[in-house]
Structure formats: C-alpha cells, structure tokens
C-alpha cells in the first residue's frame, strides 16, 4: 500500500512524467508508481538518469546562452516540472536581474510547489500558469501571462522535455506553430526531445512500457524533432545530441550518451 502523503487531485497509483523525472534527478516528490515505472525505464535504458541530468544541464546552458549572448529578458517555460534549483529565473536573473519568467505546467504536483517558482528577485518577475500545451491559445491569452510578459518584445520559449508527452494525434507541431507564430522577431525557441533513432529498440521499449502504464511517451526521430523549429533560423550547431549543444568545459567523450535531440532557433 502506498502510504505516502499526496496533495489532493493526484492519483498516485499512476506513474507521471514530472514525478519520474524528479525521481531520476534525485528529488523527493515521487510515489511508488513513479519509482516503479522509473526503474522499468532504467532497466531498458541504464543511462536514463544521465539522460535526465543531461537534459537539465542543457536547460542551464541554454538559459545562460539566451540571457547572456542573445540578450533575452523574458522567458516562457512550458512543461516546467517540479521546481529544482536552479530554476530558469534563478539562472537568468543571476545574469540579468530584470528577467521575467512565465512558467506553465498542467500537473497538480507542480502547482503545489509553484510557490518556489514565484520567489523572483525584486527587479524581475515570475508567474506560474496551471495550463496545458494542448491549448496554446489559452496560454497566450492568459491575463497572468500578458501581465508578466510583453509579447511585442522577444521571448525565449522553452519546450524542454515536454513534446514527447504529446501523441501525434494531438499534433504537437501545430501547437508549437501557434506559439511560434505569436512571438515577435528576435524570439528564440529551445527544444529537447528523446530520440528514437539513438537506439530504436530500447526507446521503443520504454514507449511501450509507458503506454502500458497509462502514460503517453513518444520518442521521435531527428527529422520529426527538427520540424518543430519550422522556418526559424537554427543556432549553430543545429539539431544535435543534447550533450553536443554548446558543451561547457571538456567536450563529452561520447556525445551520444544521452538519447535526447536538442536545438535552439531564432525568429528572423
Ligand atoms: C520531464 S518534465 C520536464 C521538466 C523541465 N522542463 C526540465 O526539462 O527539467 C515534463 C513536464 O511537462 C509537463 N507536461 C506534460 N504535458 C504537458 C502539457 N500538455 N501541458 C503542460 N505541461 C505538460 C509535465 O507535467 C512535466 O512537469
């Protein structure tokens, strides 16, 4: 029996991506079903924890790049996950204290922890929206979002490890296109996505295990991930394994060690 405390609205009998991810990166906001599915994934792909950690490290690098080199001062982070320091605003505001961040997630456990995301530095601002990527129009029109971000000025859109949680039938490309169309020239989008082509058998195996456990998980091939960027201009080196995107320090011995595609693009 699962005797762990869970906030209202959370069905702890089903595994959930945010809590499995929290488990892999060493957090405490996960339940028995999340850990069981997390371990099943790890049996298929022993490097799954490294994948989660490398994905998170990409988020750190890309927020530093966008704030530092690209001069972005406002972020829209959809699929925020359970807060884990440093969060987007902590990284960005360390470089530019006036940075504003709108966080979006649809998981009740992320909502429970949202206060940790609202502790902005005094010059900047953060907001949390309990909203769904499948309804991008609602996100863009949300009064809390429009009170925090100026959509006439460049935005850094983060879609980090979220798009694989949407089935093809939900047309994630169309949902992303709606967001890209709404952002002004000079905006950036950063995406990571588990790659089927790194190891089709293992990645296919975790997708099947996830589906059997009631979760949608769709690893995709590089071309399908590249389509999310539409006609935006890819920042060098393009769509590459996550460990190969602007590595810091010694370049990784095996950049294919984490099965995630990643890329960053700018609206012309
Ligand atoms: C694997 S976590 C990634 C967390 C964070 N972006 C990172 O990379 O460290 C994916 C997050 O996306 C959220 N998510 C999944 N589908 C979503 C949807 N349709 N709308 C909003 N959030 C969603 C999940 O609740 C979860 O918190």
| CB distance 229 to 267 below 8 Å | no
Residues 160-172 have pLDDT tens digits of 999 999 999 999 9
pLDDT of 2 > 70? The answer is: no
At 251 the pLDDT is: 83
Q: What is the largest CA-CA distance in the chain?
A: 54
**Ligand 1 geometric centre to CA of 217 (Å):** 12
Residue with tokens 């099943």: 40
Highest mean pLDDT, choosing among 44-48, 114-118, 181-185, 214-218: 181-185
Six-digit token pair at 222? 């590089």
**C-alpha 141: how far from chain center:** 21
Highest mean pLDDT, choosing among 42-56, 77-91, 169-183: 169-183
Residues 226-265 have pLDDT tens digits of 999 999 999 999 999 999 999 998 888 899 999 999 999 9
Domains and CATH numbers, the chain: 17-246+259-266 (3.40.50.150)
- The minimum-distance atom of ligand 1 relative to the CA of 192 is 8
Is the Cβ atom of 114 under 6 angstroms away from ligand 1? Answer: no
**C-alpha 131: how far from chain center:** 14
Q: Which phi and psi (to 5°) does residue 2 adopt?
A: -90, 110
Residues 20-42 have pLDDT tens digits of 999 998 888 899 999 999 999 89
**Ligand 1 geometric centre to CA of 132 (Å):** 10
Residue 247 burial (10 A CB sphere; 0-12, 13-18, 19+):
middle
At 167 the pLDDT is: 97
d(CA 141, CA 40): 39
d(CA 29, CA 192): 23
Average pLDDT over the chain, rounded to an integer: 93
Q: What is the DSSP string of 74-105?
A: EEEEES--S--SSPHHHHHHHH-TT-EEEEEE
At 267 the pLDDT is: 98
At 3 the pLDDT is: 52
Question: What mean pLDDT do residues 90-107 have?
Answer: 96
Is the Cβ atom of 105 under 6 angstroms away from ligand 1? Answer: yes
Residues 84-93 have pLDDT tens digits of 889 999 999 9
Question: What mean pLDDT do residues 123-133 have?
Answer: 95
pLDDT of 1 > 60? The answer is: no
At 160 the pLDDT is: 98
> Do the strands 125-130 and 156-160 form a parallel or antiparallel pair, or are they unpaired?
unpaired
Is the Cβ atom of 79 under 6 angstroms away from ligand 1? Answer: yes
d(CA 1, CA 93): 43
**Ligand 1 geometric centre to CA of 109 (Å):** 11
d(CA 45, CA 196): 12
**Ligand 1 geometric centre to CA of 79 (Å):** 3
């Amino acid at each position: 029996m699962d005797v762990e405390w869970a906030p209202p609205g959370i069905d702890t009998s089903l595994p959930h991506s945010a809590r499995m991810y929290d488990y892999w990166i060493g957090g405490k906001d996960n339940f028995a079903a999340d850990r069981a599915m997390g371990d099943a994934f790890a049996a298929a792909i022993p490097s799954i924890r490294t994948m989660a950690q490398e994905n998170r490290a990409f988020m750190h690098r890309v927020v530093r790049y966008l704030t530092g080199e690209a001069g972005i001062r406002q972020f829209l982070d959809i699929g925020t996950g359970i807060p884990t320091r440093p969060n987007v605003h902590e990284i960005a505001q360390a470089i530019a204290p006036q940075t504003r961040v709108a966080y979006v997630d649809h998981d009740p456990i992320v909502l429970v922890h949202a206060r940790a995301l609202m502790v902005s530095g005094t010059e900047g601002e953060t907001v949390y929206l309990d909203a769904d990527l499948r309804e991008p129009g609602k996100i863009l029109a949300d009064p809390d979002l429009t009170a925090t971000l100026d959509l006439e000025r460049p935005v850094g859109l983060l879609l980090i490890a979220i798009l694989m949680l949407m089935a093809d039938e939900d047309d994630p490309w169309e949902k992303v296109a709606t967001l890209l169309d709404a952002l002004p020239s000079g905006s950036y989008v950063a995406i990571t996505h588990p790659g089927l082509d790194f190891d089709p058998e293992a990645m296919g195996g975790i997708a099947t295990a996830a589906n059997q456990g009631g979760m949608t998980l769709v690893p995709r091939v590089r071309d399908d991930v590249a389509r999310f960027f539409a006609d935006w201009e890819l920042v060098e080196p393009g769509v590459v394994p996550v460990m190969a995107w602007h590595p810091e320090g010694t370049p990784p011995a095996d950049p294919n060690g984490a099965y995630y595609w990643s890329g960053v693009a700018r609206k012309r």
